[in-house]
Amino acid sequence: MNKKKPARWKRFLKRIYFFFPVRLLVGYLKTNHLILLSWLIPFMIILNGLGIRFGLPSLFLTPEYMGKINGFAFLFLGLVTGSFIMAFHISSYVVMAHRYPFIATVSKPFYIYSLNNSAIPVAYLLIYLYESFRFQTGYEMIPPLHVVMNLTAFLTGILLFVYFSFGFFYFLVRVWPRIVIAEHSKLSKKKWLRWLVQISEKDKQKKMEEAPKENKGPSKVEWYISGISSISRSRDFSHFDRSYLTKIFHQQHRNALFYVLLILTFIIIRGLIKDQPQLILPAGASLLLLFTLILLIISLFYIVFRQWTFVAVLVLLFAGNFVSPFTINSYNNNAYGLNYSNKKATINPLSHGNFQIDSLNTVKILNRWAKKNVMPSDKKPKMVIICASGGGMKLAMWTYYSLAYADSLTQGRLLRHTELFTGASGGMLGDAFLRELYLEKQEGKIKKLLSKKYISEITTDILNPVFYSFSMSDWFFRLQHFRYNGHRYYKDRAYMFEQTLNRNLGPILDKPLIAYRKEEESAKIPMLILTPTIITTGSRMIISPVDVSYLTKDPYNKVLKNVEFRYNYHAFGADSLRFLSAIRMNASFPYVSPIVALPGKPRLTLFDAGLNDDYGYLTAYAFAMEFKNWILQHTGGLIIINVDENDYISYGKAARFPSRILKPLGVLFTDWLSIQENNYLPVVASLKKTLNGKFDFINFRFGSVNKRVSLSWHLTKRDKQILKQAIYLPPNQKELQRLRQLLK
């Protein structure tokens, strides 16, 4: 009796092992890793294992269409998810089906194969439904009933595309051969197609050699799923003609080629549509469509290169990078408004303007600022410098919201006392937006700086259109152009970034750089200095509508450290630089917007300001040191306001095994900002001694360990709620009261 039980278990396990879905999973694990790895990124994203700091999971779990999370967004994501699932089935069929010849004995080989190959897609969908439901209700605060409707739309999109795909293959199998059979012999004689026919024949011959002759060995299958709710025993195929079996598989390979061409054509057409928001896919759908194309191309590569596919892909990527005119290596974007037509023109990064003249002209601006801030009883006004940290949309909103709130609380004194805005990335976008509203308020165009309308504008999604452009066209071709200031530029994700930002905020920032010169010189608005990082040197490109060459040198001597944009690029139309492009250059976030290559030789390329000075401390310190005597003589002291996110310091947290391996590399991304603050803050604090104690440091910060906000150009409703509530936190309220007293 005891011997029978192990025998039954052995037979049961044997049946499971020779069950077709299990055999396919084993096949992926043993030999077809590329196809299996194609699911790794989608799985990691929806499980919050990849890109959580950058908000990537939200693009998949809560897709947006036309700036809203609705059924249409989920329907589009479902359609593209269906395309990715079908690409997985096609790739697997091309690579592995010939190893299981019994499949050719059924009436619908590809359909049955796909049914048995659905273990991974089904697992993905089940996890997605759970995670999306949790994310929608928890982070976007959508009612459960609406969440169910969204997920129903998602599943509907998948079913629609799957049925379309099987219909497409039915057409190719049943109708297409009747159309092309008469032309096949003619086409095969053409020289330009002869090589394709030869590859096809070699692939057919190789598969005949690899296909097992009997249902034995590593490819043995005893049972397979024959329907949605039925299982059948596999048929013997040893009596079938080998050429017949090979013909069945070869036909599916040809059908896969037509399917790839169809998807590629769709991507090219979609890539040409950039200026119609209603035709832009959600970002998650765009990325999945890119993965779909890559997966299909890999399956075609397998037909040609077989076991050498992985090596061939790497070689072609490196070779294409040197041959193609649109290589990854040379793919830099332009700064709109500048003249790139003179390819031979040169610049001298070591040259600079007149330090003394520029400094004296800035003193005139400071004198006008002092005249605007005359205090009663001979009291001297406090000067304010605002340092806004980089951090995507979360810092754009927090900078605008916290400063507008503080200005309202101080009855307008904050911005009137502010002389300089500096910082990086999203923080400077918030500064620029607030400053423009401040200008419009002075001109009588608006009544107040803080309103729900402006909060909505500064937090409207930018990431979806940008990733749409990246996925649909930027990574392999750029075809469309546009003209700005009489010059011609490519339409790509940088263009989409600026156009979307311009559409979200209204055209208030769509000006040339020089448009702010008069307002800054008259002290009507604070100065705003952008400082993107120069790649290869690590120095800063100083961008300002007024001459500030004194910021290019070391504060203690005249050794040149940085480059002044307007002085060095005057011949290329520096004054005509689009201000939105200047903001984009200051926020060139990896993969979101490409690095910017300036005209002239040597060609300088610019990256996010946060790489060098994320907090703007270096610019603020250099400015304060340059005018320390004026500050001591004409002001009641200097206030630096730091707008930032809370630090998350934990010395006791144990590092897991993957973290210990990846930490040396990850420190460049996760700890770089903390390293900057630890290095630069003591330098800024030294101003207290330099200014004889007339120095105050104010912090406006948000977030906590349990209330993190993703570093992204997209915010969830929960993120926005955290940012709005942060101003009422005790530390911020305490700092607001300090600021109020200092500015009295």
- Report the C-alpha dihedral over residues 430, 433, 436, 437, rounded to 10 degrees: -100
C-alpha to C-alpha distance for 345 and 331, rounded to whole angstroms = 20
Domain final residue, candidates 300, 323, 346:
323
Q: Are strands 487-490 and 527-528 parallel, antiparallel or unpaired?
A: unpaired
On the question of pLDDT at 601 being above 70, the answer is yes
C-alpha to C-alpha distance for 99 and 405, rounded to whole angstroms = 68
The answer to whether residues 602 and 347 touch, using CB atoms and an 8 Å cutoff, is yes
User: Which of residues 467 and 623 earns the better pLDDT score?
Assistant: 623
The arithmetic mean of pLDDT across residues 16-34, rounded, is 83
pLDDT at residue 318, as a whole number: 62
Other Cβ atoms less than 10 A from the Cβ of 235: the count is 13
Same domain, 387 and 305: no
CATH of the domain at 408: 3.40.1090
The arithmetic mean of pLDDT across residues 169-191, rounded, is 53
State which residues form the domain around 310.
9-323
Token duo for residue 485: 């200031």
Residue 342 belongs to some domain of the structure: no
pLDDT at residue 261, as a whole number: 72
pLDDT at residue 153, as a whole number: 96
Residue 512: DSSP 8-state? B
pLDDT at residue 559, as a whole number: 61
Q: Residue 604: which residues within 8 A CB-CB, separation 6 or more?
A: 347, 349, 534, 535, 541, 563, 597, 598
**Segment among 377-386, 476-485, 519-528, 665-674 with least mean pLDDT:** 665-674
Same domain, 294 and 442: no
Same domain, 126 and 211: yes
Same domain, 516 and 457: yes
User: Which of residues 642 and 54 earns the better pLDDT score?
Assistant: 642
Domain final residue, candidates 279, 299, 323:
323
**Computed over its alpha carbons, how large is the radius of gyration of the chain?**
31
On the question of pLDDT at 37 being above 90, the answer is no
On the question of pLDDT at 329 being above 60, the answer is no
The answer to whether residues 373 and 408 touch, using CB atoms and an 8 Å cutoff, is no
pLDDT at residue 326, as a whole number: 44
pLDDT at residue 524, as a whole number: 96
Number of domains into which the chain is organized:
2
The arithmetic mean of pLDDT across residues 217-237, rounded, is 80
The residue to which tokens 């909505």 are assigned: 456
Cα separations in angstroms, 651 against 61, 648, 654: 33, 10, 8
User: Which of residues 40 and 470 earns the better pLDDT score?
Assistant: 40
- Report the C-alpha dihedral over residues 493, 499, 500, 504, rounded to 10 degrees: 160
Residue 230 belongs to some domain of the structure: yes
The arithmetic mean of pLDDT across residues 124-144, rounded, is 93
On the question of pLDDT at 712 being above 60, the answer is yes
The arithmetic mean of pLDDT across residues 220-246, rounded, is 75
- Report the C-alpha dihedral over residues 371, 372, 378, 382, rounded to 10 degrees: -110
C-alpha to C-alpha distance for 490 and 470, rounded to whole angstroms = 13
On the question of pLDDT at 174 being above 80, the answer is no
Same domain, 359 and 217: no
Same domain, 447 and 373: yes
Same domain, 294 and 375: no
Token duo for residue 707: 């209330």
- Residue 325's pLDDT band, with cuts at 50, 70 and 90, is very low
The closest alpha carbon to 509, from 569, 434, 592, belongs to 434
Helices then strands, each counted (H, E), the chain: 32, 14
E strand map for 571-623: 596-597, 605-607
Residue 653 belongs to some domain of the structure: no
Residue 452 belongs to some domain of the structure: yes
Q: What is the pLDDT of residues 636-671, one digit of tens each?
A: 999 999 999 886 544 445 445 444 444 444 444 456
On the question of pLDDT at 85 being above 90, the answer is yes
On the question of pLDDT at 192 being above 50, the answer is no
* Alpha-helix runs per DSSP H in 448-557: 452-458, 463-469, 493-505, 517-521
The closest alpha carbon to 253, from 291, 202, 216, 289, belongs to 202
Domain final residue, candidates 267, 302, 323:
323
User: Which of residues 609 and 656 earns the better pLDDT score?
Assistant: 609
Q: Three-state SS across 55-96?
A: CHHHHHHCCCECCECCHHHHHHHHHHHHHHHHHHHHHHHHHH
Same domain, 277 and 421: no
C-alpha to C-alpha distance for 306 and 303, rounded to whole angstroms = 6
Token duo for residue 42: 């989608």
User: Which of residues 337 and 238 earns the better pLDDT score?
Assistant: 337
Mean pLDDT over the full length of the chain: 82
Residue 340 belongs to some domain of the structure: no
- Residue 462's pLDDT band, with cuts at 50, 70 and 90, is confident
Same domain, 269 and 165: yes
The arithmetic mean of pLDDT across residues 339-347, rounded, is 87
Residue 493 belongs to some domain of the structure: no
Residue 1 belongs to some domain of the structure: no
pLDDT at residue 292, as a whole number: 84
Same domain, 266 and 382: no
Same domain, 290 and 383: no
Same domain, 63 and 190: yes
Residue 402 belongs to some domain of the structure: yes
The answer to whether residues 127 and 46 touch, using CB atoms and an 8 Å cutoff, is yes
